[in-house]
Structure 1
Amino acid sequence: MKKTLLSLLAFSFLFSCKQKEKVDTIVINSNTYTVNFNFDTSESFAIKDGKFIAIGNNKEIQEKYTALNIIDAKNKPIYPGFIDAHCHFYGLGLQQQKVDLVGTESYDEVLQRLIDFQKEKNTSYITGRGWDQNDWEVKEFPTKEKLDSIFPNTPVAIRRIDGHAMLVNQAAIDLAGITLDSKINGGEFIKKDGKLTGVLIDNAMNFINNPKPSKKEQIQALKDAEKICFDLGLTTVDDAGLDKEVIELIDSLQQSGDLKMRVYAMISNNQKNLDYYLNKGVIKTDRLNVRSVKVYADGALGSRGAALKDEYSDKKGHFGALVNSYKNLQKVAKRIADSEYQMNTHAIGDSANYVMLKTYNEVLKNKNDRRWRIEHAQIVDVKDFDLFKNVLPSIQPTHATSDMYWAEDRVGAERIKGAYAYNDLLKEYEKVALGTDFPIEHVSPIYTFYAATIRKDLKGYPENGYQMSNALSREDALKGMTIWNAYANFEENEKGSIEVGKVADFIILDKDIMKIDGKEIPNTKVLATYINGEKVN
């Protein structure tokens, strides 16, 4: 009898083992935020063929599944892979090959970095990005005299951090054919005492033709950007403005397995791109999605290029400007509305936001679920918030904590009430897409979460947070970096949450950003990033 019982137990054990489904990976002992409809948490999940096939507790998953790869999360928090809804992925990679001017505290420091770079690289045309006169003691645009004396024969063109202003030397001016009589719509050649200062605003920068990177440099740029993003927990990036050549290079690298990052590509608004992509229709693979157009309405607040309804508080008689004519913006909107594509428009000032919101609502009157986006929605007239009911706000929380030192100087105490108003925007559309605009801001989505919820910069300023009535809850911020961003990309059925059938993109952090003290959030580290269940960092 005893032997029979033992035999039955053994048979039962073997039978139960045989009944376990083989999967690729099992994760156990985790604190997983699924970001599903109920915002459930779980201990364990199973992955097969790059997708989540089961989510539950340790016992449920281990009784049903078996895998050679078992990840013990040791009670660390797990989240869906972070998605950046507005960035410049390719630009970030190219920046690694240029002079990095981010964080410079004076014009002299900018010049020294240029000197050091040229000693090492000895390039025929010096380019770079990242200076911001608002961070200097003298908060005025620089002029080119010192640049001319240091680099009399080598062209230099360095962009302001927001990408909407550029400082060039005389060698670059001569090469571009710019003169005192040069004129441009939607831009400005800044002059002083009847001379060109070397500062170009918005469309004036189009005169400068920087050297085109080689294919080898382009590939390296994409790989460099991917590594930076994977290390910081990003699994999908929305690149805001790419041309056909770069999109096709991304696709080829993804197809060959040399680039694993998922890319939502916004095509740059030019005739060539529109003619090709709008006629071709949506292009969708498992890692690439091409179905939107990036359009510019105005410039940036920091360089006073944002289009305002009333004059700048710190520059009388100056209103900024639309970088595209109202007629052209309407024409482009109507053309995109007649296609399958989404329109994503850069709008900073309250005038630019009003123009685009009215345009969107007019051309989409009888069209459903188009998910057209306003990128930035930075300064909005309080009377215009209701125009966002059918327009998705795509916002970048670290812009608020970078700009808060000087933004009110630009627009005054009354208009600032409608600035960086993320919670007010959320109330209108009931979703917000969160991004960084990197490399203008730091790549880290952890910093995005911190700025959205705590509303302080990395120095802990201001003590009580900036305009806290517009802070997002931690749950809304997490949704804004995952499922709502997937929705913004028409991909909510395939990613953005840890649910059965979705791609197994997830990250493991060393701290639970949903629960830790606010001041600890920026110190949180990404322990691992997974795409399709494969560890990529």
Structure 2
Amino acid sequence: MKKHFLTIAALTTLLFACKQKQAVDLIVSNATIYTVDSTFSKATYMAIDKGKIVALANSNELLNTYSGKETFDAEGKTIVPGLIDAHCHFYGLGLNQQIVDLVGTNSFDEVIERVKTFAASNQATVIRGRGWDQNDWSLKEFPANTVLNELFPDKPVVLERVDGHAYLVNNAALKLAGINMDTQVSGGDILKKDNELTGVLVDNPMALVDAVMPKPSRATQIKALKQAEKICFDYGLTTVNDAGLDKEIIYLVDSLQQAGDLSIRMYAMVSNTPENLDHFLNKGILKTDRLNVRSVKVYGDGALGSRGAALKQEYSDKPGHFGALVTPADKIEGLAKRIAATDYQMNTHAIGDSANIVVLKAYKSALEGKNNRRWKVEHAQILENQDFDYFSSGIIPSVQPTHATSDMYWAEDRLGKERIHGAYAYQTLLRKAGLVALGTDFPVEQVSPFLTFYAAVARQDLEQYPQEGFMKEEALTREETLKGMTIWAAYSNFEENEKGSLEPGKLADFTVLDKDLLAVPVDSIPFVKATDVFVNGKKVK
């Protein structure tokens, strides 16, 4: 009898245990969840514990198994994996919040007015600004510094072009940098007119100015990083690939993340300087929960808008001009061999077809016999038809769709009717490589990933121009675009097993949207908003 009683008691205990729910930190309900898993499945409920996804389901049966310490009712909204910007300048975005904003200026006169307004309320020893683009002006020519010299005869003024590949500086800045009519710098241009310096510096000569500029204080650096994080979270980004950081800023990011003062995740590309490479290549990969340092950012050439992109044939709108490599071909080859001997990835900026083939050949040679290295060509903007095949060997194109819709008004002027067909060719790159990593290159372009999505799918501006889409055959589908901003971007960072899709065991990074990116009318895509953002299962917006 006693034995029978114990059996019933044990059975009762077992049944009670079976009915107990597993406690988790968060349950998400009533959502349209695009998991972006291998079958692109959808779910309605998600359980999260200790920063990771525990389970997903399409019915409320999940609630019979799990109880959440906290709950989040999505109220029917769309949820996607935390959005990744595969190529941006996060720290630069933050610094830009503290200088003259020249984005969207429609004339040089407007540039001058914004500089004057800034100078009237700012006591900085140097006036800095960024965002002008002469291609947006009625007179589509580089400006000269005459007016700046009159307004600021003694205070240096440095105004950066929107793409970051040209400066307009006044004579005070030129003098400080030691630049005169006899100064020679390879890999760029010091523009002259009527036997005088115009103040326009393209690519490598800009470094002479940078070398004499005051460095941001630590307080300024921290403020910049925090401001950039807020902007990115507002747009639903949870991971950013910063395309070129020095050792000092990388370690500052790490310290802020470890202290809980910076929540965003970062894939940091190390800027190609001797000091940075000697440190990180010898140290090896640096990986924490929020920071991944395992790549080197190299510049192959300049930008198309400033005619610094290195082309095989002369510019259609500037006979005899071919642009320039900012890193000579033999240096790119040497860097590729050095980096290939480590565990680091090489990510090289290449705009022109000449720069792209130099980079692709260097990659092919350095990676002979090495598998799964996932080296990237950043931008991969203009290629000759036969050169696309290089991407079939595991090289990843990291592209920015809004470059196509920003440049489409004048790109054919630069390249001509034939060469333009090898430019901004995202669908072709996808077919060859099997994936594309998508980013913005902000602050060159706007931060919004929804503009990226729209540009990739519609190939139009916000006025739906051109009507049929710019080279619409190179558009991506909506599913391809979402993958490029999530799982493919994660793969390009060696992080596909921890993020990029919403699956059990992966990080609980996700973005809640007010509209369904995969279903709304295409012209509504730019106006989608991120209403809530979660990193590690914690709400950060």
- Measured against aligned partners, the alpha-carbon deviations of 1:344-371 in whole angstroms (never above 9, x if no partner) come to 0000000000111111011101000000
Q: How many residues align?
A: 528
- Look up the equivalent residue of 1:374 and give its one-letter code: V
Structure 2 vs 1, CA of residues 16 and 520 (structure 1 numbering), >3 Å: closer, same or farther? farther
- Measured against aligned partners, the alpha-carbon deviations of 1:432-461 in whole angstroms (never above 9, x if no partner) come to 000000000000111100000011112221
Which residue number corresponds to residue 67 of structure 2?
66
**Structure-to-structure mapping, 1:55-94, within 5 angstroms:** 55-94=56-95
1:216 and 1:335 map into 2 onto residues whose CA distance is 35
How far did residue 211 of structure 1 move? 1.6
Which residue number corresponds to residue 529 of structure 2?
525
Which residue number corresponds to residue 463 of structure 1?
467
Are 1:401 and 1:451, in contact at CA under 8 Å, matched by a contact in 2?
A: yes
Are 1:28 and 1:58, in contact at CA under 8 Å, matched by a contact in 2?
A: no
- Look up the equivalent residue of 1:180 and give its one-letter code: M
How far did residue 202 of structure 1 move? 0.2
In the alignment, structure 1 residue 513 sits paired with structure 2 residue 517: yes
2:453 and 2:207 map into 1 onto residues whose CA distance is 35
Partner-residue secondary structure (3-state), 1:68: strand
Which residue number corresponds to residue 289 of structure 2?
286
Give the share of equivalent positions with the same residue, in percent: 60
- Measured against aligned partners, the alpha-carbon deviations of 1:224-264 in whole angstroms (never above 9, x if no partner) come to 00000000000000000000000000000000000001000
1:202 and 1:85 map into 2 onto residues whose CA distance is 23
Structure 2, unaligned runs of 5 or more: 1-11
Which residue number corresponds to residue 300 of structure 1?
303
How far did residue 525 of structure 1 move? 0.9
2:232 and 2:527 map into 1 onto residues whose CA distance is 17
> Alpha carbon RMSD of aligned pairs, Å?
1.3
Which residue number corresponds to residue 221 of structure 1?
224
Which residue number corresponds to residue 436 of structure 1?
440
Structure 1, unaligned runs of 5 or more: 1-10
In the alignment, structure 1 residue 475 sits paired with structure 2 residue 479: yes
**Structure-to-structure mapping, 1:228-377, within 5 angstroms:** 228-377=231-380
Which residue number corresponds to residue 43 of structure 1?
44
2:474 and 2:189 map into 1 onto residues whose CA distance is 34
In the alignment, structure 1 residue 402 sits paired with structure 2 residue 406: yes
Which residue number corresponds to residue 195 of structure 1?
196
1:158 and 1:534 map into 2 onto residues whose CA distance is 39
Are 1:29 and 1:58, in contact at CA under 8 Å, matched by a contact in 2?
A: no
Structure 2 vs 1, CA of residues 181 and 502 (structure 1 numbering), >3 Å: closer, same or farther? same
1:60 and 1:281 map into 2 onto residues whose CA distance is 46
1:17 and 1:403 map into 2 onto residues whose CA distance is 61
Question: Which stretch shows the higher mean deviation, 324-333 or 476-485?
Answer: 324-333
How far did residue 326 of structure 1 move? 1.0
TM-score, normalization: structure 1? 0.97
1:344 and 1:479 map into 2 onto residues whose CA distance is 20
Partner-residue secondary structure (3-state), 2:216: coil
In the alignment, structure 1 residue 386 sits paired with structure 2 residue 398: no
Partner-residue secondary structure (3-state), 2:240: strand
- Measured against aligned partners, the alpha-carbon deviations of 1:107-158 in whole angstroms (never above 9, x if no partner) come to 0000010001111112110011100000001000000001111111110001
Partner-residue secondary structure (3-state), 1:143: coil
Detail structure 1 runs of 4+ shifted over 4 Å in the superposition: 11-14
Are 2:490 and 2:496, in contact at CA under 8 Å, matched by a contact in 1?
A: yes
Partner-residue secondary structure (3-state), 1:54: strand
How far did residue 15 of structure 1 move? 3.1
In the alignment, structure 1 residue 106 sits paired with structure 2 residue 102: no
How far did residue 18 of structure 1 move? 5.5
Which residue number corresponds to residue 423 of structure 2?
419
Are 2:42 and 2:58, in contact at CA under 8 Å, matched by a contact in 1?
A: no
Structure 2 vs 1, CA of residues 17 and 100 (structure 1 numbering), >3 Å: closer, same or farther? farther
1:72 and 1:126 map into 2 onto residues whose CA distance is 48
1:125 and 1:19 map into 2 onto residues whose CA distance is 66
How far did residue 17 of structure 1 move? 8.5
- Look up the equivalent residue of 1:532 and give its one-letter code: N
1:40 and 1:326 map into 2 onto residues whose CA distance is 45
Which residue number corresponds to residue 7 of structure 1?
none
Partner-residue secondary structure (3-state), 1:314: coil
- Measured against aligned partners, the alpha-carbon deviations of 1:384-435 in whole angstroms (never above 9, x if no partner) come to 1101112100000000000000000000010000000000000001000000
- Look up the equivalent residue of 1:119 and give its one-letter code: A
How far did residue 60 of structure 1 move? 2.3
- Look up the equivalent residue of 2:422 and give its one-letter code: G
